[in-house]
Structure 1
Amino acid sequence: MTAYCSGMGRAALVAMMMAGGAMAPFVAADPARAQTISGFAQAVAESTAVSPDLSAFYATHGYAPLWTTAESATRRAAFFAALDQADANGLPSARYGADDLRARFASIETERERGQLEAAVSLAYLAWARDINSGALEPKKIDPGIVREIRRPDPQALLSGLAASPAPARFLRDLTPKSPRYAALVKARLDLQTQIATGGWGPQVSAKRLGPGDTGPAVVTLRDRLIRMGYLDRSVAASYDAALQTAVQTYQLDQGIKADGIAGEGTLAEINRAPEERMKSILVAMERLRWMNGLDLGKRHIWVNLPDFTARVIDDGKMSFETVTVVGMNQGDRRTPEFSDQMEMMVINPSWSVPRSITVKEYLPMMQRNPGAAGHIQLIDSRGRAVSRGSVNFAAYNARNFPFAMRQAPSNGNALGLVKFLFPNPYNIYLHDTPSKSLFQKDVRAFSHGCIRVGRPFDLAYALLAAQESDPEGYFKSVLNTGAETTVKLREPVPVHLVYFTALPNARGRIEYRDDVYGRDAALFAALDKAGVELAPLTN
């Protein structure tokens, strides 16, 4: 049966808590005291039953309180201070119920209520710690293309670590991602929140094109909007002067637009985006960085940002190589997934083993109409032997029972070009060369079946081989010139991160924005919104 502290009034109970009496072990010298403490312990046990980890923690530690005594005041204050920053971190603050918990501390009257409150604070703590450390969403449930492995913190470690920490505020602060990118996004969120509260960036620019020498109201609106965005110092100039052209050019660089300093239709469309739309990108980017928290990016790593259509080699935090890319088209399973892995090798003069999906969905229908279609690609039987097209009745097969594979031999026209970079994964995604060079000239480069085509594949090979060859270019070319398919292992595997950020800080401290080419950010923000994340909470 539950033991209530029926003979103890609220004032006496609060006085006892403030005196620290409840910190004593749950073995009392007198029966009345034992009844009081068992009421607390039983309430904790009942209220933590929803969380096996929390229940086990309290049972193992003799139901010693973490939050509800005078001795825990510093820990309690540190946690509530952290909850006050949940909105700033783009978290669903209502999920943690800080206001309700504070009110319950002020109105507690029985040991049972104290036990229930103890459990409630611990449940809120575990929810907040999990969210701040590794994200508030389960991305695979929202978009099947987000297959990133998320490292969730161990609840027992969260509880034991906080209980043992002599500096709880520091312990809680250390749960937040330490990435400089994350800190920059938190600052950007607060800055943008202030902008929204004070009217945003002003009226949109009503023009199709503005350039040097232009004057008039549209130029003034453009100038004022760029001033509010932080791209231009305050000015009363009414003409499209050199300062305005430089500001437009800097803005274009930040948005990945051709930086010609002319505010054309595409540039103005970006400038006219509402700050609330940019805030959505920032909130989703913060969540994505939380998913990657705890992941060792690698002293040297490859960073492939899908909506930016770039691949970069990062050495000691600085970019040492960059190339444009083509990524998967925005169709079904052709969208390039998001995950991290280890690049282990490159294949020079690769053959192309056509994926089964492409074989049966694209080539089989072509060969049923014309057996000679795609004649540059061999048919391969189950024993790995090439099969003559003339010996096959393609009409007898469908996508389920087609018994052949397809393979393209190494050549300049091979679909993979002359080199591919492998990081073996369940999704059959890799980086590779391509004979279709013209696609790299386009602004939006989502054309592949999912793999990532590299604009400067040879230079990427040289950059990777430099870690193990004294003459990386000479070595690569000597292998290439043999014409034979050759696998070259990297002596030190290089981490590869396929990411999807439409908002990220650059080296100048500004936030760069990109288009949501797959619509993933829109889906993620909708989920954050449903979870209770506020776009722009009211500021005090």
Structure 2
Amino acid sequence: MVGFARKFYRYAMVSGLAVLSTGVIAASPAQAQVTAFKQAVAEAASRDDALSAFYRENGFQPVWTVDSPIGVERRSALLRALRDADQHGLPVKRYNFDALYAQLGDADTPRELGLAEVAMSDAFLTYAKDVQSGMFKPSSLDNDIKRKAPVRDRRENLETFLDSDPSAFIKTLPPTTSQYVGLMKEKKRLEHVIDLGGWGPTVQAKKLKPGDSGKAVVALRNRLITLGYLERSAAITFDTEMQKAVQAFQLANGLEADGVAGSGTIAEINRPPQERLKSIMVAMERERWLNKERGERHVLVNLTDFTARIIDHDAVTFETRSVVGKNQSDRRSPEFSDVMEHMVINPTWNVPRSIATKEYLPMLKRNPNAVSYLKLVNSRGQVVNRGNVNFSQFTARNFPFDIKQAPGSRNALGLVKFMFPNKYNIYLHDTPAKNLFSREVRAYSHGCIRLHQPFDFAYALLARQVDNPKEYFQTRLKTGRETTVDLIQDIPVHIIYRTAFSDAKGHMNYRRDIYGRDAKIWKAMANEGVALDAVQG
């Protein structure tokens, strides 16, 4: 490809007009070459509004095929990025790297250079978008992924690139979060593991506990060693060290850390590195969907981890268990970001209409006195006497009442809820069903996020605006009256879904794909050419 641009520019950079023997002024050969180049650029760019506008405004001047040091830097930086796209879990073939490289090297005429010029810009814009904000529109893969990826303006990306150091600019495109960096590191490690043949034989047992011995225990020992949870050992008995290793594995995989390798633990231990690599690359795509400022202080809810955290300056300052939506079509918790504005102490539960008509109306038809702790309220705000209502005449479409539950310890929302108003009617709240928090998989709600320690969560939020947050909160709680407390500083809330993420110490954690969303994302990625091979060609 050396000197390919000179084939054109040794003529094109010469300007001027030639006078024909007839005395008519005509374009010189050099000017004709330039015109052919510009026409090719205009033609190729016409299929893309952003590119067409960009080249029209810069007078169809070359960006990539300019024969100068900056042209070389731009071409080299982009080609390197496209060649190494697999490092980000992106498919090299998506950017037609081989064809683009060949097109640049074979460009002999001004027209061919013009077509190559636009092909380079198109590849740049596609890659920049993919590595900045993901290959896909999130909602196109699953209806409950409500997140809007932070897609940057295409022309602005190209114009900023031209005003920057090419290599430095391309390095700014992907997320710079510690999570993304950790995912890239784990991706490389797993690819090396796969190249070496994996983690060895799987554990053939239903359950192993301290004191057990035999071939299955040896297999468990070897697996824990290769997974990095156990130092090299010749032990043939399930000893204390192996129990500690099992507990460490369980903690890193969202399992009950009892030190016993039950069926669930063994199933996770037996997962091949290829499955983990899929989780890593899907998590990288998801991280690109959230490639924006998340807030100096923000709330992070990871649905697969069943946790809610307060993050201050990238450090976890509060964490509690959560219960998320049940794995049913109308109950799964959606993924989105919004802003928490206030909390409500002693909340009234305004039963969502979907729950009122699908769950409670059939009960009321069978027995008008069912769920007597709930009040029926008409359009004028008056409480309705159930004895005067013929519920059989109503359907989900014409049911005329609102259903409410007064504040109290039995209230479905518990004693406090945290509001970030959104069209999905999702919020964080307390719950009287405390027993669910002891379970390993905590997907039971109608979609909202229930918190195990809602009072402590409230104290942590209030600590920045009152001197004694506990006293402040408890004083209002003891009144028994519904009280709204505004947050002086709005707090971003990010409800995410990560089956692979690193903890505070940088150790990679894995979780199960509870809603099957990652499987859908991986399928879409594979259809685009993402592969598990270290080199995707």
TM-score tier (shorter): over 0.9
| Counterpart in the other structure of 2:382 | 385
In the alignment, the residues of structure 1 paired with residue 506 and residue 455 of structure 2 have an alpha-carbon distance, to the nearest angstrom, of 31
Structure 1 outlier segments of 4+, above 4 Å = 10-14, 19-22, 27-30
Contact 2:45–2:118 (CA<8 Å) still a contact in 1? yes
Establish whether residue 530 from structure 1 lines up as the match of residue 530 from structure 2: no
Contact 1:308–1:514 (CA<8 Å) still a contact in 2? yes
Establish whether residue 352 from structure 1 lines up as the match of residue 349 from structure 2: yes
TM (norm. structure 1) is: 0.94
Within 5 A, what are the aligned runs for 1:430-445?
430-445=427-442
Q: Using the TM superposition, give the Cα deviation of residue 238 of structure 1 relative to its aligned residue in structure 2, in angstroms.
A: 2.8
In the alignment, the residues of structure 2 paired with residue 297 and residue 528 of structure 1 have an alpha-carbon distance, to the nearest angstrom, of 25
Q: Using the TM superposition, give the Cα deviation of residue 13 of structure 1 relative to its aligned residue in structure 2, in angstroms.
A: 6.5
Establish whether residue 94 from structure 1 lines up as the match of residue 97 from structure 2: no
TM (norm. structure 2) is: 0.95
Instruction: Give the paired residue count.
Output: 526
| Paired AA for residue 279 in structure 2 | S
| Paired AA for residue 409 in structure 2 | N
| Aligned match for 2:365, one of 368, 385, 389 | 368
| Aligned match for 1:233, one of 212, 231, 234 | 231
Per mean C-alpha deviation after superposition, the further-off stretch among 218-227 and 332-341 is 218-227
| Paired AA for residue 311 in structure 1 | A
| Paired AA for residue 57 in structure 1 | F
Q: Using the TM superposition, give the Cα deviation of residue 211 of structure 1 relative to its aligned residue in structure 2, in angstroms.
A: 2.9
| Counterpart in the other structure of 2:219 | 221
| Counterpart in the other structure of 2:83 | 84
In structure 2, relative to structure 1, the CA distance for the partners of 1:21 and 1:335 (3 Å cut) is farther
SS of the residue 2:356 aligns to: helix
SS of the residue 1:332 aligns to: coil
| Counterpart in the other structure of 2:21 | none
Contact 1:13–1:110 (CA<8 Å) still a contact in 2? no
In the alignment, the residues of structure 2 paired with residue 149 and residue 38 of structure 1 have an alpha-carbon distance, to the nearest angstrom, of 42
In structure 2, relative to structure 1, the CA distance for the partners of 1:20 and 1:301 (3 Å cut) is farther
In the alignment, the residues of structure 2 paired with residue 157 and residue 457 of structure 1 have an alpha-carbon distance, to the nearest angstrom, of 44
Please list every run of 5 or more consecutive structure 2 residues that lacks an aligned counterpart in the other structure.
19-27
In the alignment, the residues of structure 2 paired with residue 12 and residue 237 of structure 1 have an alpha-carbon distance, to the nearest angstrom, of 65
Within 5 A, what are the aligned runs for 1:103-502?
103-165=102-164, 167-294=165-292, 296-502=293-499
Contact 1:48–1:119 (CA<8 Å) still a contact in 2? yes
Q: Using the TM superposition, give the Cα deviation of residue 58 of structure 1 relative to its aligned residue in structure 2, in angstroms.
A: 0.7
Q: Using the TM superposition, give the Cα deviation of residue 136 of structure 1 relative to its aligned residue in structure 2, in angstroms.
A: 0.5
SS of the residue 1:87 aligns to: helix
Q: Using the TM superposition, give the Cα deviation of residue 169 of structure 1 relative to its aligned residue in structure 2, in angstroms.
A: 0.4
Per mean C-alpha deviation after superposition, the further-off stretch among 254-263 and 428-437 is 254-263
In structure 2, relative to structure 1, the CA distance for the partners of 1:21 and 1:443 (3 Å cut) is farther
Contact 2:137–2:148 (CA<8 Å) still a contact in 1? no
In the alignment, the residues of structure 1 paired with residue 526 and residue 457 of structure 2 have an alpha-carbon distance, to the nearest angstrom, of 40
CA RMSD after TM alignment: 1.8
Per mean C-alpha deviation after superposition, the further-off stretch among 68-77 and 178-187 is 68-77
SS of the residue 2:486 aligns to: strand
In the alignment, the residues of structure 2 paired with residue 155 and residue 279 of structure 1 have an alpha-carbon distance, to the nearest angstrom, of 31
SS of the residue 1:387 aligns to: coil
In the alignment, the residues of structure 1 paired with residue 106 and residue 4 of structure 2 have an alpha-carbon distance, to the nearest angstrom, of 11
In the alignment, the residues of structure 1 paired with residue 289 and residue 62 of structure 2 have an alpha-carbon distance, to the nearest angstrom, of 31
In structure 2, relative to structure 1, the CA distance for the partners of 1:241 and 1:383 (3 Å cut) is same
Contact 1:197–1:538 (CA<8 Å) still a contact in 2? no
Establish whether residue 62 from structure 1 lines up as the match of residue 93 from structure 2: no
| Paired AA for residue 314 in structure 1 | I
Q: Using the TM superposition, give the Cα deviation of residue 539 of structure 1 relative to its aligned residue in structure 2, in angstroms.
A: 8.0
Q: Using the TM superposition, give the Cα deviation of residue 33 of structure 1 relative to its aligned residue in structure 2, in angstroms.
A: 1.0
In structure 2, relative to structure 1, the CA distance for the partners of 1:12 and 1:162 (3 Å cut) is closer
Contact 1:208–1:265 (CA<8 Å) still a contact in 2? yes
Task: Please list the CA deviations of residues 395-415 of structure 1 after superposition, one character each: whole Å capped at 9, or x if unmatched.
Answer: 111111111111111111111
In structure 2, relative to structure 1, the CA distance for the partners of 1:103 and 1:12 (3 Å cut) is closer
In structure 2, relative to structure 1, the CA distance for the partners of 1:254 and 1:20 (3 Å cut) is farther
